[in-house]
Amino acid sequence: MPTLAAFVIAAVLLLAGIAGWRAGIAWWKYRGKRVIHCPENHMPAGVSLDVLHAAAAAVKGDRKLRLNHCSRWPERQDCGQECLFQIERAPEECLVRNILVHWYVDKNCAWCGRPIGDIHVTDRKPALLLADKGSVEWGQVPVEQLPETLAVAQPLCFICHIANTMIRQHPELIIDRARPALTGKD
């Protein structure tokens, strides 16, 4: 016959499991950098949420969010954080990774023409070809500049990005096979 202590232990473990589950879901949902439109100046801003606070609040059944970082800080650090409404309304749509993955859908590499295809977290990620023909990785673009960068950039597959980087950084190491070969008669 189970004792009262066994029931108490089982109940505590069940409650701890539920609390852990809620905290984990909140952490997963609210992690990562996001792009929002600042309600004050109506310009894009890069933000990240305090995921530990969100996880702790979720354990209590609260959905109160707060910012951990904003590209407009420290100048505007005392703002009312009205932008949180955008994240609460559509947390996945403002996540930088999701914005980028959506932007690459049905696009081909600007250099080799191959389809970019599906983008996975652990794979080599495609890059962005800028107007100056330089290429950058996702993390090199400041979050608040992402919308304007995507408006003028072209997609570049990982292989072409590496080749472009090598050409720009070490042109002395590159052999241009498109030029006619030397025959020794020259």
Please write the tens of the pLDDT for every residue from 157-166: 999 898 888 8
Pairing, β 135-136 against β 127-129: antiparallel
**Which range among 27-31, 101-105, 181-185 has the greatest average pLDDT?**
101-105
Distance from C-alpha of 82 to C-alpha of 86, rounded to nearest angstrom? 8
The pLDDT of residue 34 is 93
* Token pair 């720009």: residue: 168
Residue in 143, 113, 144 with CA at minimum distance from that of residue 129: 113
* Token pair 């952490």: residue: 27
User: Quick one: pLDDT band at residue 171, thresholds 50, 70, 90?
Assistant: confident
Q: List phi, psi (to 5°) of 53.
A: -65, -45
Order of all β-strands in the sheet with 33-37? 33-37, 44-49, 67-70
Which residue has better confidence, 98 or 26? 98
Please say if the pLDDT value at position 91 is more than 70: yes
Please say if the pLDDT value at position 182 is more than 60: no
The pLDDT of residue 186 is 45
Distance from C-alpha of 12 to C-alpha of 2, rounded to nearest angstrom? 15
The pLDDT of residue 51 is 86
Distance from C-alpha of 62 to C-alpha of 66, rounded to nearest angstrom? 12
